[in-house]
Structure 1
Amino acid sequence: MRFKKNILLLLTMLCLSLSVLVLPIYSIELDETTRTVQLDNAGKISILTPEQVKRGKRLFNNSCAQCHNGGITKTNPNIGLDTEALSLATPSRDNIASLIDYMKNPTSYDGATFISDLHPSITSAEIFPKMRNLTDDDLFAIAGHILIQPKVNAEKWGGGKIYY
């Protein structure tokens, strides 16, 4: 009888310790302020849902992170996905609408040249298969992920070789 109680106690402690170790990883929830991003150049804002945040992260990691891991740009380390770099692009890319526009029709940082043959986009989905099935909702979630990261990862997002 005592052996059964000890086994039961051991199993209970094991389950509790696992839940303490595992639950915080999955229960991280960003507050509304962190999930609030600029929607367009007119100053409208959007509050992403937790589902959009999770979806954006997953889609970014699947479609963009090969070249933009940690918000850097492997092909040009001088231009990252940090807030400052996005705001200094022409046109600025520091809001959801402009990032979606970029993912559909990418241009060089100065806005002078269309680069859809070099950068994955909806326009060049035949060259970049990962872009084929992305919907406008997917692009919205990816853009939201990009804009939330400077709030979550601070100087690491877009920090380049120093961090990644």
Structure 2
Amino acid sequence: MNKNFKTLSFILFCTLNLLNMNANAIDLDEATRTVILDSAGKTTILSPEQVKRGKRLFNSTCGACHVGGITKTNPNIGLDPEALSLATPRRDNVLALVDFLKNPTSYDGQDSIAETHPSIKSADIYPRMRSLTDDDLYSIAGHVMLQPKVVTEKWGGGKIYY
């Protein structure tokens, strides 16, 4: 009986944590879910579903190399707003990040890095990219733009946090 109680308690604990994780996107107000859409500064409000989906897709597709907004292969270039704004072309908005996920270039914009960075262009090399739609890419980009508002300086903060 004691073993069953522990098992039931564990299941309840996991269920409550799962419900809490799913509630996080809904708990974010519109101001927090408002992110920069394009280079002209136009904004968009991410839906709670886009927030949840973006987080899930980012973690499963990008999270191995970009945990916490850092770049494991080059820690000097992160996904924080400052690093994204200094890229050429600027990548500090949703549409620019979607463009990068389709056709990635080096930080200075000079060379294609499609053979070394997962992208739609290199979906034959990176199978996880094959099933991503434009809506999926938009949600992932929205996640990247939203994280500095949610986890503040931790996003892209490097190994001090992760």
Give the TM-score of the pair, scaled to structure 2.
0.86
Letter in 2 for 1:95: N
Per mean C-alpha deviation after superposition, the further-off stretch among 145-154 and 21-30 is 21-30
Is 1:117 matched with 2:132? no
1:46-61 matched pairs, under 5 angstroms: 46-61=44-59
How far apart, CA to CA, are the structure 2 residues paired with 1:26 and 1:116?
Answer: 33
How far apart, CA to CA, are the structure 2 residues paired with 1:24 and 1:123?
Answer: 36
Is 1:100 matched with 2:98? yes
1:9 alignment partner in structure 2: none
**What 5-or-longer segments of structure 2 have no aligned partner?**
1-8
How far apart, CA to CA, are the structure 1 residues paired with 2:32 and 2:139?
Answer: 14
Once the two structures are TM-superposed, the CA of residue 27 in structure 1 deviates from its matched residue by 2.7
1:137 alignment partner in structure 2: 135
Match of 2:41 among 27, 40, 43: 43
2:66 alignment partner in structure 1: 68
Change (3 A) 1:79 1:136: same
1:163 alignment partner in structure 2: 161
1:3-18 matched pairs, under 5 angstroms: none
Tell me the matched-pair count: 147
Once the two structures are TM-superposed, the CA of residue 24 in structure 1 deviates from its matched residue by 4.5
Tell me the C-alpha RMSD between the 2 structures: 1.6
Match of 1:27 among 14, 23, 26: 23
How far apart, CA to CA, are the structure 2 residues paired with 1:24 and 1:127?
Answer: 36
- Residues 4-59 of structure 1: per-residue CA shift (max 9 Å, x gap): xxxxxxxxxx9xx97xx655454331111110011101121110000000000000
Deviating beyond 3 angstroms after TM superposition, the runs of 4 or more aligned structure 1 residues are: 21-26
The residue matched to 2:139 in structure 1 has which SS?
A: helix
2:79 alignment partner in structure 1: 81
Letter in 2 for 1:136: D
Letter in 2 for 1:115: I
The residue matched to 2:32 in structure 1 has which SS?
A: coil
**What 5-or-longer segments of structure 1 have no aligned partner?**
1-13
1:3 alignment partner in structure 2: none
How far apart, CA to CA, are the structure 1 residues paired with 2:111 and 2:50?
Answer: 31
1:154 alignment partner in structure 2: 152
How far apart, CA to CA, are the structure 1 residues paired with 2:41 and 2:21?
Answer: 34
